[in-house]
Structure 1
Amino acid sequence: MNHSTSSRPALLPDGYAAGLRSAITADPAARLVAGVQGAGGYGKTAVLDQLARAYRDAGVPVFGANSLDRAGEGAVLVDDAHRLAESVLGELREIARRPEARLVVAYRPGPRPAALGELISELGAPVLLSPLGRDEIAAHAATASPEWIDWVRAQTGGVARYVHRVLAAAEPGKTELPTRALDEFQHDLDQLGEAGWECVTAMAVGATPHPDLLAALLDLDSAVVGSALLAVRAGGLVGADDALLPIVRAAALRLTPWERRLRVTRRLVEIQLARGGSVLPLVSPLLGADIALLPEATLAAAFEKAAEEALRDAPHLAQRLFAAAVSAGTPAASVAARQARAAAVAGELDEALRLADQVIVDDAVPDKELGVQVAASVLAHRGLLERSAELCRWSVGRLRWPGDRAFAAVGLIGVGRLSDADELLRSSDDAGPPTSMTGAAAQLAAGARESVVGSSATALSTLVRAASLSEPVGRHILAPDTPASIAALVALHCGELDVAQSTLDRVIESGTGGPLLRNRHRLLAAWLPLVRGDTVTARAKLPATTQSAVRDRLLATAIEAGIASRDNDMAALAAARGQAKQAVAEHSVDLFALLPLGELLVAAARLRDQDWLAPYLAEARALLDRLGNPPLWTSMLTWKRLHAAIVLEELDVARQLAAELGGLAHHNPLAAAMAEAARVWLRIVDGQVDQDEVEQASRALTTAGLAWDGARLAGQAALRTADRRAMLALLECARALQGKPPRPRAVRGAMSAETDLLSEREKEVAELVLAGLTYKQVGKRLFISAKTVEHHISRIKQRLGCANREDLLNRLRELLGQ
């Protein structure tokens, strides 16, 4: 018998041989005739080892195929029966027919000679070996993590022999196939013969395991290839889908001489290019090899085509493939525009703009319209909307690309040049046929214009339709912005949060705008819970990275500042200030950046550091003036300016802003709610708190989309009223608007009692401390010393029974409804 003599425990689940071994243990002299079938490496030898041990433990001699004449003296265990001569198989068949036979034969599923088939019919239904499960692998790698066990199983397909090779050579937790494990495949590949190894090489570089294809690719006879594929399958080198197991593919690529791999790859590339098939999987492994730098016409064409395939989902890889194409002989000018696009989609905006500028100014470079499209998109992402619009405008009538006129108009509207946009839109010629993309762009321009001169409902409806129209094709379109982004901004400005949510959910799921606009959509989606006051969800929705786009950084910084402000986290608010200054300095003021500007304005007021924002605020007001102060875009910024003025106690400014909001109230429900809330805010600041009036205004804000603002209005009114009953009612209103359940009556009574423990001065101190002010700042506000503030806090902590400052702040927030 040909069995292993290794002392290492076999990587084989006990269940495979348990039935046979139990029968041997129960009666070692009884007749036992069985077959064990499994592909190479599945553990046939290990099964026979276990059975041999069971027989020997019972005192029964064990013989192999070379001692069949002694079959009557003991048990015969035969491995690799598929390799035996017909005469030997015939002898085994005769032994199997004996009444006293004790015979177990292991064999592969194929190729199967006729004599083996006759023997198998005598042996009956075999024990079928299958790949190891994760539990069996884990039993031999007890210290490894479940994730690493899953990786081992995925790489080896659970084939026992390959699992053993990895476990014996790999460092647990390191997801890299060890060289020693790969080198051990030399014998497996040698056993396949030259034709079999050639087939494995072709499959490793990407060929489909079809006999006719491989025969044409390798210049071999189809019958030879068919037999070779049977040997590959029987050798356990492929999975159920006939694809090479990952460890086998890695071994074949390592052990096959480079020149043989290159010959097969080049031939396969030629076939795929002729058929118009994909070449990306074939040539991407060549990127790290010296051959990628050599002039080669076939590879140059393949690298270029592969780059086009990778551009949509792997832009960084596309950049490398375009570079390889140039190295292999493709003229650099012929791919420059596409290289610029790959860099833009990969988020390398500086490189994209550099390449795009070269394309635009060089008359010899093709695809100039793509260069303009890339440059215009990158400029918009860098916060330079006016330059982007001018470039789109310049291309109209010169280098037409789908949507150039519309994107030019949107950009011009965004920077306050409505008359220029109208003039551009009145011209009738367009770029090419009326495709979905040109239609979506046209509706985008119409919706953006309507948001400035008309109805917010009409504008939003037009923009949502544009977003829907762009979904089927928008994933692969490079553009300055998407209809979904503008639709979400308009929805946020008029309080239609559900519309914004559904629009953004759809665009994120469909991938519209590709990788370059993915973060913009996700950031806008994170703004929605921020508006509702759900800072936990807002923080969770923030993308892990915003690449290098200034526009994304501005939005992300404003969200972080908004979260810190709503959480009263002054340290985080101060930390966001530096990032905000940088982002605002790099981003020119435009209509679509007013939302983050307003949020940063309130944050700066809370930090008493608002002067740096004054020039940008002046630019924003001038922009709105040029557009005739459209209510949709003006009201939200005015609302944020009002809050900043209240924080800074600039009451005259606040009254003026409240009057401005009153003039905008007619436009949409949110504007009306903000106007009424502004009037109530000023009454509260003046000490006039009408419970019913405050609750009505707070609920109107919440209904119109500003839930956090509504809750804050009610909470601040509760702090300023001298009526205990009104205070409790307003605190409960604030809790309800935040989505919190009402307090039980006993808790409300206890809270009232606790409130009575604090003097009016102590309540004022507590409110300012909760707002994030230092003891020195509180003292300055209340005209007392910082030491006096500290004494007040100490007494409050003692009266409320708080053990530490964190406990105190939590109790005060609960007590004061913040």
Structure 2
Amino acid sequence: MHESISELLEAIRKSGGRPVHRIILGTAGSGKTSALRIARSAFEATGARVTTSLENVGAIDAVAGSVLLVDDVHRCGPTALADLEAIMRRRDTSVLLTARPRSSRHKIDRLLSTSGSSALTLGAMTSPKVAQRARETLGHDLRRDHIAAIMAITGGQPDGVHEVLTMLQHGRAVLPDAARVIDEAGQAWVSRRFAELPALVQQAVAAAEFATAAPIVAETLGVSPDEAAELLDEARDSGLLLDHDKVTAQLKACFAEQLGPSKLAQLRSRAASALASSHTLTTAAAIMFAQYHVVNPQVASYLIRASERCSDTDPSQAATLLDAAYAAGASLADFALQRAEVAARTSDYGGALHFADAVTNRALSTDGRQCADLADAIRISATVATSRGMVAHAADLYRWLGADRAGADAPIAAIVLYAAGDGETARAVLQHAASTIPTTYAQGLRLLAEGIGTSMSGSGKSSIAMLSRAVSMLSPPPVRRAMPDHAAALAATAALHCGDLAAAESILAASLADHRPEAAVTARLQLLSAWASMLAGDIPAATARLRAATARPLPSARDRLFEYGLRAGLARRADNAAELNACWTAARPVIAACSADLFSLLPIGELWIASAHLSLQPEVTHLIDQAGTVLEDLGSPILWAAPFHWCGVQAAIIGDKPDDLVPHAHHLGAAAHASEYAAALATAGKSWIRVLAREFNPADVEASARGLAGAGHSWDGARLAAEGGFRSNDPRAAASLLQLARTLKLTGAAGAMAPDPASGPAAPASRVPGGLSVREAEIASLVVQGFPYREIGERLFIAPKTVEHHVARIRQRIGAQSRGEMLSMLRSMGFPQVNHQA
């Protein structure tokens, strides 16, 4: 029972024959009539004479304790209202009335002021009350989502809640799906209640979906503002409009059925015109009009302007608004360029091309009078092409456009052309950029392109400073546009290619700190950040950054190529053959779909090495050949070519193809005079060949390993030192090289690898089965997995002979008589343990 009713009954019981005056207010279905019946019983229990008829109300005898109960006073005419006032003024009769709170509010106010009585309001039921009622009706608790569904449909209106719960009670055997019963029962309640409303009130409810201001509703319904206000009051008193005049989906479903499609379309069209002409149109209302196929030029223009305001910060919302504008009657010519822009920025590549092509065709049909639009359309098409791993096509687009029509986008064209290996055309296009207005943004774009150009000569190292300055000038951009690549990504890629990991990390960290709405750009920067960590040997950080970048599927084939390059690189560094195979299987479609370009050499190189491990080099031959052609066409720039040829050296070594190694070693050797980075790689390549041939000087190997680490290849340096240690016949030299391998790996991983207990004091180790040490547990896990002593040594940077000694101690500790017994016992003890695997 509602608290207000309980208070009323208490007042009746304590009245002692004194008159009780109350007016019970509530919307339709709130329980007013039920409250009146309960009150009548309470009065009759005191022996009072109860009258419920308005007929001859003025002739009620002034008998002490008489009671007058009247339902729906808001429907009373002037005469009945005057009679009620007279009785309430006499104060010798209890009067209990019910009324709706808004309809004929002036009548309620008159009665309240005449008698000095108070009003009781019956509000909607709360969720806890609905849950309690459900428990009482059904004999068990309803789930929270079911309670929420009932509240969403009925707004807690008591009669609606009762109807739904009754259907649940009677329909359980037939329809065990409570959610379906709630939806069907709720829809039936709404439909019945809506059908009971007068036609104009129904129309007012339909208009409330868009506006509840009386002037707007008046124009929509074709009535006066006063009439509209009264209709809105009746609509609210119906109990069908929820808090803040919300129109539920169930209520909307009734509109066409009760009003008819034609009338409903007319109302919506009038509402759109009224809101637009009064400048009170909202974005939500405009979108709804478009969804209902209301064609209105003012609504369409409003939506286009709204999309312009949010396109920088929320391109997805801008796309929604522009699609709505088209549905509202906007011409494609009015917004095609903007729509293409936001589509590209949200990785809707098919949509971006569709709209960009529309702009291109329109620009060409105007005899070149819209060159700016044409340049923008080509930039968007080039963005899609590069994202799909087809930089050559993007370059073709800019060659077709030409430097004159590229205008302010000439630096962008130059960067794309460099990426495709066409340095000559890139330099020619870049010359035209000098004629553009020297804004900070324009100068930043030009400096970015010039930085890429500078990377083509000498060591290319000086280009990193230029590219870093360009990134600063372009951040944040005055307007966010779809670009073939992000400035920070280009700068970081160049830094990674010359081993300047600190510069790459700095550029990427600053750019990732800048909030941007384009998820694809953020993911690309995270991939490059992961790459920097991987090169440094910080495998945990690289893995975490890769996981962050791929938390959502990457829509760009170019970025997926980077993803698989990282996965392959991390699997290789962990000697995880299963993961390497899985990565390759997943990467095959991307490898087949992409073509090589200057800025995708990093993943191509890693996949090249991975293919050598898996003996699947033919599957990447097309990418390797294309990459070689791009570099050759650009004059084999040292900065870009050196890491690629280093990958070629490693692939040849792993694949045991010495003939394939020669050209890559030659390129690195030729570049050594101009680049310390290339020199470090060239020296390391020679040392590696000598190590494999067991014809090496340990001091040279140590110098080469340190040189690799200094060039940003800590993991490669550690691996070279380890290989030298394994193959050295000098125990002291072997121990020194293996210790260097540990040091380089620890330095690169920032302490990610646990130190060898034999190398000095360590933190207390976690307990392991069998009383084994941490190192013995590591070795036991690997032995159980079937790794030979040599591979275990490579993983742990110790000699195979040391592994053998550890295994002997393990057998002794656990009391195994044979190797087979040792393996069986280790498995029963819980090995392999994941936390002890390398």
Match of 1:411 among 413, 416, 436: 416
RMSD: 5.8
Are 2:430 and 1:425 aligned? Answer: yes
Give the Å deviation of 1:590. Answer: 0.9
Provide the residue aligned with 1:473 in structure 2: 479
Superposed displacement of residue 276, structure 1: 8.3
- Name the SS of the counterpart of 1:577 in structure 2: helix
Equivalents in 2 of 1:16, 1:771: separation in Å?
81
| Correspondence 1:455 to 2:475 | no
| Amino acid across the alignment from 1:542 | T
CA contact (8 A) 2:417 2:423 kept: yes
| CA contact 1:183–1:251 (8 Å) conserved in 2 | no
Contact 1:37 1:128 in 2 (8 A): yes
CA contact (8 A) 1:280 1:306 kept: no
1:582 aligns with 2:583: no
Conserved in 1, the CA contact under 8 Å of 2:291 and 2:327? no
Between stretches 668-677 and 134-143, larger displacement belongs to 668-677
- Tell me whether 1:83 sits opposite 2:75 in the alignment: yes
| Structure 2 partner of 1:384 | 390
| Residue type at the aligned position of 2:394 | S
Question: SS of 1:473's equivalent?
Answer: coil
1:684-725 C-alpha deviation (Å, 9 max, x unpaired): 87699999x989979995x98778778878998998897999
Equivalent in the alignment of 2:801 = none
**1:594-673 → structure 2 map (5 Å cutoff):** 594-630=601-637, 632-638=639-645, 640-641=647-648, 643-645=650-652, 647-648=654-655
Residue 824 of structure 2 aligns with which residue? 798
Aligned to 2:365: 364
1:200 pairs, out of 200, 205, 216, with 205
3-state secondary structure, aligned to 1:589? coil
Q: For residues 239-318 of structure 1, what are the structure 2 equivalents within 5 Å?
A: 241-242=244-245, 244=247, 247-252=250-255, 255-270=258-273, 312-313=315-316
What are the Cα deviations for residues 761-802 of structure 1, in whole angstroms up to 9, with x where unaligned? 999616648999xxxxxxxxxxxxxxxxxx998566336x22
SS in structure 2 opposite 1:416?
Answer: coil
User: Any idea what the Cα deviations from partners look like across 1:469-488, whole Å, max 9, x if unmatched?
Assistant: 32x521xx233233243345
Query: Does the CA-based 8 Å contact 1:319-1:342 persist in structure 2?
Result: no
The match for 2:833 among 797, 810, 816 is 810
In 1: Cα distance, 2:615 partner to 2:704 partner: 31
How far did 1:408 drift? 0.5
Give the letter aligned to residue 744 of structure 1. Answer: P
Q: Quote the residue 1:6 is aligned against.
A: none
User: How far apart are the structure 1 equivalents of 2:165 and 2:125?
Assistant: 13
The reply to whether residue 486 of structure 1 matches residue 478 of structure 2 is: no
CA deviations 1:2-36 (Å, max 9, x no partner) are: xxxxxxxxxx8x65655556677899989765554
Instruction: Output the CA distance in 2 between the equivalents of 1:99 and 1:315.
Output: 65
Partner of 1:375: 381
Distance change in 2, residues 1:460/1:690 (3 Å): farther
- Give the distance between the partners of 2:260 and 2:248, measured in 1 at CA: 20
Aligned counterparts of 1:173 and 1:435: Cα–Cα separation in 2: 64
Cα pair 2:782 2:832 within 8 Å, conserved:
no
How far off its partner does 1:414 sit?
1.3
Q: Is the 8 A contact 2:492 2:505 kept in 1?
A: no
For the 8 Å contact 1:381–1:480, the answer to whether it is kept is: yes
Cα deviation for residue 589 of structure 1 reads 1.0
Distance 1:195 1:370 in 2: 52
CA–CA distance in 1 between the matches of 2:110 and 2:784?
102
Deviations 1:136-183 (A, max 9, x none): 444539776545654654565555555566777799686999576456
Q: Does 1:544 align with 2:569?
A: no
Aligned residues: 764
Change (3 A) 1:195 1:422: same
Match of 1:744 among 721, 745, 764: 764
CA contact (8 A) 1:192 1:231 kept: no
Counterpart-to-counterpart distance in 1, 2:72 and 2:223: 28
Tell me if the contact between 2:216 and 2:271 (Cα under 8 Å) persists in the aligned partners.
Answer: no
Q: Distance in 2 between matches of 1:709 and 1:53?
A: 92
Query: Structure 2 matches for 1:106-121, cutoff 5 A?
Result: 106-120=98-112
Question: How far did 1:384 drift?
Answer: 2.0
Aligned partner of residue 788 in structure 2, secondary structure: helix
When residues 257 and 591 of structure 1 are mapped into structure 2, their CA distance, relative to the original with a 3 A threshold, is: same
Cα distance in 2 for partners of 1:93, 1:119 equals 6
Q: Against the structure 1 CA distance between its residues 396 and 627, is the aligned structure 2 distance closer, same or farther, given a 3 Å change threshold?
A: closer
Task: State the Cα distance separating 1:411 from its structure 2 match.
Answer: 0.4
Shift of 1:542: 0.8
Q: Relative to 1, partners in 2 of residues 1:495 and 1:288: Cα closer, same or farther, differing over 3 Å?
A: same
> 1:802 aligns to what SS in structure 2?
helix
Does structure 1 retain, via aligned residues, the 8 Å contact 2:22–2:119? yes
Equivalent-residue separation in structure 1 for 2:48 and 2:574 (angstroms): 79
Bigger mean CA deviation after superposition, 447-456 or 411-420:
447-456
> Which one has the largest radius of gyration?
2
Do the aligned partners of residues 305 and 359 (structure 1) sit closer, same or farther apart at CA in structure 2, a change above 3 Å counting? Answer: closer
Are 1:593 and 2:600 an aligned pair? yes
- Quote how far apart the aligned CAs of 1:226 are: 2.9
C-alpha contact 2:203 2:221 (8 A) present in aligned 1 = yes
Cα offsets for 1:666-700 (capped at 9, x unmatched): 99999899789879978987699999x98997999
Post-superposition offset of 1:385: 1.5
> Residues of 1 paired with 2:14 and 2:707: CA distance?
82
Q: 1:612 to 1:485 in 2, by over 3 A?
A: same
> Counterparts of 1:121-140 in structure 2 under 5 Å?
122=115, 126-139=119-132, 140=134
Partner AA of 1:110 in structure 2: R
The answer on whether the counterparts of 1:464 and 1:487 sit within 8 Å (CA) in structure 2 is yes
Verify the 8 A CA contact 1:389 1:412 in the aligned structure 2: yes
Shift of residue 410, structure 1, vs aligned partner: 0.8
Paired amino acid for 1:602:
I
> Counterparts of 1:46-61 in structure 2 under 5 Å?
none
1:385–1:415 Cα contact (<8 Å) kept: yes
Unaligned runs of 5+ in 2: 169-174, 756-761, 796-816
The secondary structure found in structure 2 opposite 1:605 is: helix
The whole-number CA distance in structure 1 between the counterparts of 2:228 and 2:793 is 79
1:426 CA displacement: 1.6
Residues 1:209 and 2:212 aligned together: yes
Q: Deviations over 1:187-223 (max 9, x none)?
A: 655776555444433332x3x4333344445443222
Q: Do 1:416 and 1:623's aligned partners in 2 also have CA atoms closer than 8 Å?
A: yes
Contact in 2 for aligned 1:192/1:228 (Cα 8 Å): no
Give me the whole-angstrom Cα distance separating, in 1, the residues matched to 2:706 and 2:160: 67
The answer to whether the 8 Å contact 2:307/2:322 transfers is no
CA distance in 2, matches of 1:20, 1:130: 15
How far apart are the structure 2 equivalents of 1:253 and 1:713?
77
* Partners of 1:384 and 1:587 within 8 A in 2: yes
Query: Structure 1 residue 397: deviation in Å?
Result: 5.5
Q: Would the aligned equivalents of 1:195 and 1:224 in 2 still touch at CA under 8 Å? A: no
Deviates more, 1:218-227 or 1:748-757: 748-757
| Amino acid in structure 2 at the alignment position of 1:410 | I
How far apart are 1:405 and its partner, in Å?
0.8
TM-score by length of 1: 0.72
Q: Which residue does 1:395 correspond to in 2?
A: 401
Cα pair distance change 1:420/1:110, threshold 3 Å: same
Q: 1:530 touches 1:538 (CA, 8 Å); kept in 2?
A: no
Identity %: 23
Change (3 A) 1:696 1:794: farther
Shift of 1:593: 1.2
Residue by residue, what CA displacement relative to the aligned partner does 1:599-630 show, whole Å, maximum 9, x if unpaired?
Answer: 32333233232332234224324433444554
Paired amino acid for 2:588: K
- In structure 2, the CA distance between the partners of 1:489 and 1:179, relative to structure 1 (3 Å rule), is farther
2:490 partner SS? helix
